[in-house]
Chains A and B, each alone.
Chain A
């Protein structure tokens, strides 16, 4: 049985404690802008990490799920003066609609993509994401390229900039909830079946598991998590436009997940924090402007970092961290989980295997 006091859990508790007290020591900008943004993008990215690490499905539709929920809320809660349907509903009803419809969309898109895996899955979900971008750009009934402004958040969150720590704590709570939910789920029979699907789809199929249902349900579940990120996003940004779900943003969520470490759930938040900090503070680093990596060229910088991470450490920053950790302490269970082994037989149940996250059903050798 796994121990509770693993180094991983101790680090998580320390991180949570630091995040809880962070508002006492930081400026409003850091809390309301950097940390809140990192938390909410972490929630979006963790839905991708979950699908990839445990289901072998690298989905590029997570940004669409995130944004779709935002657009639903935008259409539901605004009143006049702004684009969209302007239904003028209560913010909480907006949240229920946003999350509910996003989960339904997740079931639909998941079902369409569920017979594919690996690179096909990646490409199909990418087309979903890009079609979603064009849909909200062209259909002025729901948005149009200008987007929806003046989205109302529930009263207790206050006006933008008024009480930044309130939305920060909400985001922290949602992040903890999403993390705990996913970490719990991957240990349930459902989660174990999902990991079996990742490692050996043919064997799972012959054991009687319905792979398509399994993929569809996990996709809808990831849509649920991403939609929570979408709720936080519109409460934080108070507006949403198609640029929020453009191909650049689709890739940004992927980059966040990969930079943090696509095989660990907590990597999503680490990557998001890294991304947001890099985005906001790189301009202050002397010399970067001179080599063409200044403020305006953030995408080049993040692209280069992403490239280096992919080339050097496919496990991202978490992978680099555990590499350093291993230098100090020999890993008792050994470094290499068995190739193609089913879930957690040797490496502890929540550790995804080392096998590449595509989990395709190739059978060429």
Chain B
């Protein structure tokens, strides 16, 4: 894809962009100094006096970035290949979480009243697989029944996914109720990793490990297999792939299946890490969108970078803002978004449409 007149004109730096770069640089420097020396009266102490808080916050941003990545990877895969903004992605996330919870309850028994110590590894992994498969199949059904007839009309496809998300949200509210619930981590990650004085939650590290596995598998799939090659070619030029005699419909279906399965898997991880409620779908849709807008739509590397940046912002802002300003930490998500968009309208690793 060649660069258009629009992108070429935006490639040269204008005065406004230098102002922007300067402002962002000054803000980052200020934030670094603040975290190093001055951050007193905040939930976490300055790095200078308490390095444990800093390490813990850094680990928090890494581990939560793992979860952001898993959820957003599916979103960006579907968009990159098919130009479909799947706004039902959050609903698939929530559905995956609820399904895993029901499966776990059925496996553990005890009338649903149990703690992580009652949960064996299989009683977490089996629900994870069931949820991922089910979410994937539902995603595939959405794509086959509703979306494939409107390929190319991307706004219409997006509106269809919105309609489906509204229906799914309401039906999940009917079936699972409005109260927040959570999936229990398995016993082997319940507890803390202790190195001397320093303690850190095992489940968060487990989440990061899972995300790294997912990322590695996705990378191998996309880079080293024939299917992955077709998908990457499809991202670049769907028509050419079609002209070469490859059945892109199969690839599209597969991508939607995998994308939705990743949402469902994210729902299980997120439902164990935080909780599942009737607002979780919107919240995780927001997270996914911010990650892919920052990182660049359709790019797996971009999703990783976006997830990391959002993880840093969402962990450091509440920890290092003065306690009375903690509610304002959502502003920093907005600042991240605005700064990246002003600099690169298509995200860090994105390419113009």
Contact = CB atoms under 8 A, between A and B. Distances in A.
The answer to whether A and B interact is yes
Interface of A: 58, 112-113, 115-116, 118-120, 122-124, 126-128, 130-131, 134-135, 138-141, 201-202, 205-206, 211, 246-248, 251, 254-255, 258, 292, 296-297, 299-300, 302-304, 306-307, 310-311, 314, 356-358, 360-365
B297 interface: yes
B289 A127 contact: yes
Contacts of A140: 327
11 contacts: A58-B155, A119-B154, A120-B353, A122-B158, A127-B286, A246-B282, A247-B286, A299-B169, A299-B170, A307-B146, A310-B160
A118 B279 CA distance: 26
Contact of A124 (B327, B331, B341, B352): B341
B330 A134 contact: yes
A251 B338 contact: no
Contacts of A58: 155
Interface residues of B, number: 55
B337 A127 contact: yes
Interface stretch (B1-9, B40-48, B186-194): B1-9
A202 to B, nearest CB: 6
Contacts of B286: 126-127, 130-131, 247
A302 B166 contact: yes
Nearest to B337: A127
Interface of B: 1, 4-6, 9-10, 79, 83, 85, 87, 146, 153-156, 158-160, 162-167, 169-171, 174, 237, 239, 279, 282-283, 285-286, 289-290, 292-293, 297, 327-331, 333-334, 337-338, 341-342, 345-346, 352-353
Contacts of B174: 292, 296-297, 300
Contacts of A135: 328, 330-331
Given A307-B160, A358-B154, A120 B345 contact: yes
A254 B162 contact: yes
Nearest to A109: B338
A210 to B, nearest CB: 11
A282 B279 CA distance: 25
Given A119-B154, A131-B286, A299-B167, A113 B341 contact: yes
Contacts of A118: 154-155, 353
The interface residues of chain A, by DSSP majority, are classed as helix
B155 A202 contact: no
B5 A303 contact: no
A130 B286 CA distance: 7
A126 B160 contact: no
Contacts of A127: 286, 289-290, 293, 334, 337
B166 A303 contact: yes
Given A122-B85, A258-B159, A365-B239, A115 B166 contact: no
Contact of B160 (A202, A311, A364): A311
A115 B10 contact: yes
B6 A356 contact: no
Contacts of B239: 364-365
Contact of A310 (B156, B297, B346): B156
A356 B156 contact: yes
Contacts of A119: 79, 83, 85, 154-155, 158
Point out which of B158, B237, B283, B329 has the most chain A C-beta atoms below 10 A from its C-beta. B158
A292 B155 CA distance: 30
B341 A116 contact: yes
A247 B279 CA distance: 9
A299 B166 CA distance: 7
B289 A247 contact: no
A112 B160 contact: no
B280 to A, nearest CB: 11
A289 to B, nearest CB: 13
A206 B341 contact: no
B8 to A, nearest CB: 11
